[in-house]
């Protein structure tokens, strides 16, 4: 695993543990020579993890829409900063440049990005591991909703169990490295069509 796409907030949140844990993950990625592929910003948890990767000798690659560069939120100290026109281009480039994905705490943009990757895995467009860095149980309620979708028959159980959820960054990276895709090719219940 040479690179991980990380989706996270352009804010740092109200709990300082979000920043501390994000920096710890960035440090580990640098130490394990895993490149960071992320949204290219210098703000929020995006800036925290990028700065941690860089401070520990790691490689950071940004992908940012021109509209955000215009708002002066682009990180200027990265190894690579790709400026694209749309969010769709941003997600496609991040998906192409990443061997795995992690969602850290974030808002609507983070949810959009990680859910699209999960969907692409479900449809077989890509086959790459997806993990949630569950700092302070941030994603507990999200996974209550996902488990509800399984119980109601909208998501297959193997698709749910294929997603890594972890609060320890060391174990998180170990699980990504040892990932084995255990999902079926059938995300539609053909019996009901």
Q: What is the mean pLDDT of the segment spanning 106-127?
A: 94
Q: What is the mean pLDDT of the segment spanning 61-82?
A: 94
Residue holding tokens 């609060």? 167
75 located within any domain: yes
CA atoms within 13 A on the CB side of 87: 8
187 located within any domain: no
Q: What is the pLDDT of residues 148-182, one digit of tens each?
A: 999 999 998 988 989 999 999 999 999 999 998 76
188 located within any domain: no
143 located within any domain: yes
136 DSSP assignment:
G
Residue 187: pLDDT band (50, 70, 90) is: low
Q: How far apart are CA 171 and CA 164, in angstroms?
A: 10
Check: CB of residue 61 under 8 Å from CB of residue 97. yes
| Residue 190, pLDDT above cutoff 70 | no
27 located within any domain: yes
pTM of the model as a whole: 0.93
42 located within any domain: yes
The runs of H, that is alpha helices, within the chain are 16-31, 44-55, 66-70, 87-97, 108-123, 140-151, 157-161, 169-177
Residue 123: pLDDT band (50, 70, 90) is: confident
Residue range of the domain that includes 97: 3-178
183 located within any domain: no
Residue 72: pLDDT band (50, 70, 90) is: confident
7 DSSP assignment:
E
Q: What is the mean pLDDT of the segment spanning 101-110?
A: 97
44-53, 54-63, 115-124: segment of lowest average pLDDT: 115-124
158 located within any domain: yes
CATH number at residue 115: 3.40.50.450
CA distances from 51 to 63, 75, 147 (A): 15, 9, 35
Number of domains within the chain: 1
- pLDDT for 46 equals 97
Q: How far apart are CA 192 and CA 142, in angstroms?
A: 27
């Amino acid at each position: 695993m040479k690179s991980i796409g990380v989706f996270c907030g352009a804010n740092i949140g109200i709990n300082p543990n979000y920043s501390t844990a994000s920096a710890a993950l960035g440090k580990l990625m640098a130490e394990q020579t895993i490149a960071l592929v992320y949204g290219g910003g210098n703000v929020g948890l995006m800036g925290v993890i990028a700065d941690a990767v860089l401070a520990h000798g790691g490689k950071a690659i940004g992908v940012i829409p021109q509209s955000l560069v215009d708002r002066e939120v682009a990180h200027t100290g990265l190894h690579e900063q790709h400026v694209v026109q749309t969010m769709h281009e941003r997600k496609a480039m991040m998906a192409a440049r990443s061997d795995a994905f992690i969602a850290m705490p974030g808002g609507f943009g983070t949810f959009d990005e990680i859910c699209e990757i999960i969907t692409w895995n479900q449809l077989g467009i890509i086959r790459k591991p997806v993990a949630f860095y569950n700092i302070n149980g941030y994603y507990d309620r999200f996974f209550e909703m996902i488990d509800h979708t399984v119980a109601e028959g909208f998501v297959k159980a193997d698709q749910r169990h294929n997603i890594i959820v972890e609060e320890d960054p060391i174990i998180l990276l170990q699980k990504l490295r040892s990932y084995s895709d255990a999902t079926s090719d059938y995300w539609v219940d053909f019996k009901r069509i």
